A and B are shown apart, each in its own frame.
Chain A
Amino acid sequence: NAGVTQTPKFQVLKTGQSMTLQCAQDMNHNSMYWYRQDPGMGLRLIYYSASEGTTDKGEVPNGYNVSRLNKREFSLRLESAAPSQTSVYFCASRYAGTGEQYFGPGTRLTVT
C-alpha cells in the first residue's frame, strides 16, 4: 500500500520556467491538498480539492494552479516560477472518518 506518492522528489528551476508536481493516493480518499513548508512559516495550504471535480484556494494560492485529474490524482502547476516559490511542497489526502491527513514525502523545489 503506497499511500500518497509525489513526483519528482527534487527539482531545480530557473526563474520563469514552468513545471507540474504530481501527486497520487491509493486510499480512496475524496479530499486532497497541496501545502508548502518554509522555515519559520509552518505548513501553508495552497489549494485543496474536497472531491473529484472541485478545487478551492487555500491560504497562499497566488502563482499556482491545480488540477484534480481523477479521484486518485491531484497536480500542482507553477506557470512561471519565481525564487519566492523555493520551498518544500507536500501533497496530502484526508480520511473522512477522523479528518486525519496523510502526507506524501514531499518535493524539494529550488528556483534560481
Chain B
Amino acid sequence: QKEVEQDPGPLSVPEGAIVSLNCTYSNSAFQYFMWYRQYSRKGPELLMYTYSSGNKEDGRFTAQVDKSSKYISLFIRDSQPSDSATYLCAPPRGFQKLVFGTGTRLLVSP
C-alpha cells in the first residue's frame, strides 16, 4: 500500500463548480500536509499547507484534514479554467523529505 494515495482522474467540471480533491494516507506520523499544483509541462509549486487538524482557507481554496480517517481534502470554490492542473498531496516525512501522491488531474471547462 502506498503511503499517500490519490485518484489520478481526470476530474472534469464546468467553470464555477465546487471541486473536491482527495488524498488518503496510511502513516499516522504525518503531522501536516502540503498541496502542490502542477501545470502541464511545469514544475510543481506549493498551493497551501495545513496541519493535521481542522481546516485552512486561502481565497477560493480550503484544505481539510480528518486525522481519524486519514483523509485530506482540497476544495476549490468557483473553479476557473486556470485551475486546470494536477494537484499533488505531499506530507513531509521527517525533516528533509516529502512523500508525494500521484496527483489528481483537474480539468475546468469554460
Residues in A lying within 8 Å of B, measured CB to CB = 4, 31, 40-45, 48, 50, 58, 90, 92, 94, 98-106
With contact pairs A42-B88, A100-B34 given, residues A106 and B42 touching in the complex (Cβ less than 8 Å): yes
Q: Which residues of A contact B44 (CB under 8 A)?
A: 43, 90, 103
Is A105 a contact partner of B42 (Cβ separation < 8 A)?
yes
Count chain B residues whose beta carbon lies closer than 8 angstroms to a beta carbon of A: 19
Question: Which secondary structure dominates chain A's binding surface?
Answer: strand
Q: Tell me if B25 is interfacial: C-beta within 8 Å of chain A.
A: no
By beta carbon, the residue of chain B nearest A104 is: B43
Distance of A94 Cα from B100 Cα, bound (Å) = 15
Distance of A48 Cα from B92 Cα, bound (Å) = 14
Is B102 a contact partner of A40 (Cβ separation < 8 A)?
yes
Shortest CB–CB separation between residue B102 and chain A, in angstroms?
A: 4
Is A99 a contact partner of B43 (Cβ separation < 8 A)?
no
Q: Which residues of B contact A4 (CB under 8 A)?
A: 43
- Bitwise, B74-110 to A at CB < 8 A (1) or not (0) is 0000000000000010001001111011110000000
13 contacts between A and B (CB under 8 A): A4-B43, A40-B102, A43-B100, A44-B100, A48-B97, A58-B97, A92-B43, A101-B46, A101-B98, A102-B45, A102-B46, A103-B45, A106-B41
